[in-house]
Structure 1
Amino acid sequence: MISNILSNVKISTRNFQLMDNRIQSISEDERATVLMNCNIDKMNYEEVLKNIKEYALVDNKGIELYSKYESKRFKSIVIKAFSINPNLNGYGVIAEAKREELELGLKVIKRLFEDVEVKFAIDGTDKKITPIVSGLGEVIKVNKTLDLYDEKLQIKGFGKDVNTEDILIEDLFTLIYLGKAFKDGNLNKEVYLTIYGGAVEGNKVVSVNSGTSLNDIFVYLNGDKESLKKVIIGGALNGQGQYNLDGAVNNAMRGILFLTEKESPSEDDMSCIRCSKCLRVCPEGLNPIKLKELWNRNEKDEFLKFGGEKCIECGLCSYVCPSNIEIIQAIRTGKVFINK
């Protein structure tokens, strides 16, 4: 069931098709003074790490690359070029436009971790990205649900007998941002986002400077404030909802949804119709709507008893709910409160 979910759910924003194969630039290129000489061929491990620290680079989860790379000498790397979220599908467009930066980012990784084995994990249905990355490392085609499980992705790439602690998983965007920083010798300000939603002229990949406001992007894309109902940062399945345009872009972002009333999850407290769809799609075998109800009643012990802390926050339950109940938000809130 889970492997077919993105093709059979009834949601108006499920058909995320990019309009063209180029990156549209919203913010002007802001050149700053070069921080340091970045001839990667002449740099040793310590010098590369020092530069990464100076560039303040983070991965797609907001984790500092410096602290992650300093603590471990990885033997293998899986470069993830796919997402279970259907709206985060700009990998092929970005990899093609930023191939030089991607290659340099990969070179930086190989300078850090000598003889590292590189594999690119791609969505098996994505035909665009294969020729772009095939010359840079082995390509493995995976089911998009592996986006939810790092260990399963590591095993898919290197076999069940591997030591998963020796394998680094890095998003393709992160490699590009890494390469761009070393190419320019400075802090990377450029962020690439896939933009969708009926409230803007979306269905495209845009380039903006980190710190650009959501409102600037909305205006550039001829946004209609009268039709705008909700903004979601990240993926359609598990993104974070925003109720205004005051926020700003950062390097951990991958996409934005500017949704109309028709496209938005309902804010009304609609009744569960007991269809069991959320149970069937939960990859952890949980009862999502039960967990939401337990949290609403503040039954913490029962929330834990029914496995609330095991939720991986994929968002599939909310995505398939015919009553448009935002189940994941309640579970996410419950987990945060219980872990305090």
Structure 2
Amino acid sequence: MNCPPVYIAVFIHALAALHSPILAWARSQPAHPVVAVVSDFFCGWTQPLAAEIGVPRRPVGCDDGFPVAFPAIPREPAFEWREISMLYKAYIEGLVEEQVGESLKQNCLWNLEGWGFVSNTFRALEGRYLDAPLEDLGFKRVWAVGPVAPDTDAAGERGGEAAVAAGDLSAWLDAFPEGSVVYVCFGSQAVLTPAMAAALAEALERSAVPFVWVVSGDGVVPEGFEARAAAAARGMVVRGWAPKVAALRHAAVGWFMTHCGWNSVLEAVAAGVPMLAWPMAADQFVNARLLVEDAGVALRACAGGAGVAPDAGELAAVLADAVGEKGSGARARAKELAADAAIAVRSGGSSYEDLERFVQEIQKL
């Protein structure tokens, strides 16, 4: 369109006047509801229109396996639609009210207007991304000041009677050889469905690996499993809070099965424990790929996401491989990365220096 910008602006504004009559027409067709909206670039107002009509606002043909590429990011990663942030998907698919969705969008855009970003990471883990100015971040500076991970768990009776004391767990772990136990914990928010829990329980039994399984909140454990694990003196089920940091730093713990939440990731990295990646939602699929493909400190346990139960036999094989020779590479790399993390936060380390530079920038203001 070869027109002065003011004419284009007026044109777009005029087209938006079609919103109300089209909405009225669509609502007058109960026998033949609108199932898709195909619109021009100049008709962005059709996005809220689609939400009002009840049309999911997702790309054409965008099933859960639809690839979403990020060509501006190093290595040009692509993720399946099911792996994209649920907040973004809810906005695109019109699963939240228009006002809520627009508020969410504006919040993200405001964040990008920031002067810079301080991130809980370090160069040995994400150097290739920190060193590449990203258009999505407005080419803003990122100060990597991590890993910010506690040395020990906070003291106190977290979880009350449901909590296990650090001493009790440590005493139980003391009976096992170095690096032989798999610590299973999916954080405080990710709750396994009965089918997922059943698959995990079966895999743990079939693999015969020693384990600690922390079940939080309303999590379920298959009937009889806990008693069988205790009878075999090979497994421990913890209901409620457990001292995760202390457990990960125990010599007997050799692997951490995790949902790949970033706090959990950094706690494992700092402890030098390789991970079995079972991402559920949010940023966890991105984190899992970073750990498996870039850092080499994780193996994929399950890629299905929230609500998807893995094949118990396949998961048992992953567990057996992890504690066996096939897991040696990830174990060695995890130790190396832990050493890099420790160096990063010491005087002269990359994260220490980034924090110093950030403070200096603040002082200039």
Task: Tell whether the structures are fold-level matches, with TM greater than 0.5.
Answer: no
Which one has a larger percent helix, Structure 1 or Structure 2? 2
Q: TM bucket by the smaller chain?
A: under 0.3
TM-score, structure 1 normalization:
0.25
Q: Highest Rg: 1 or 2? A: 2
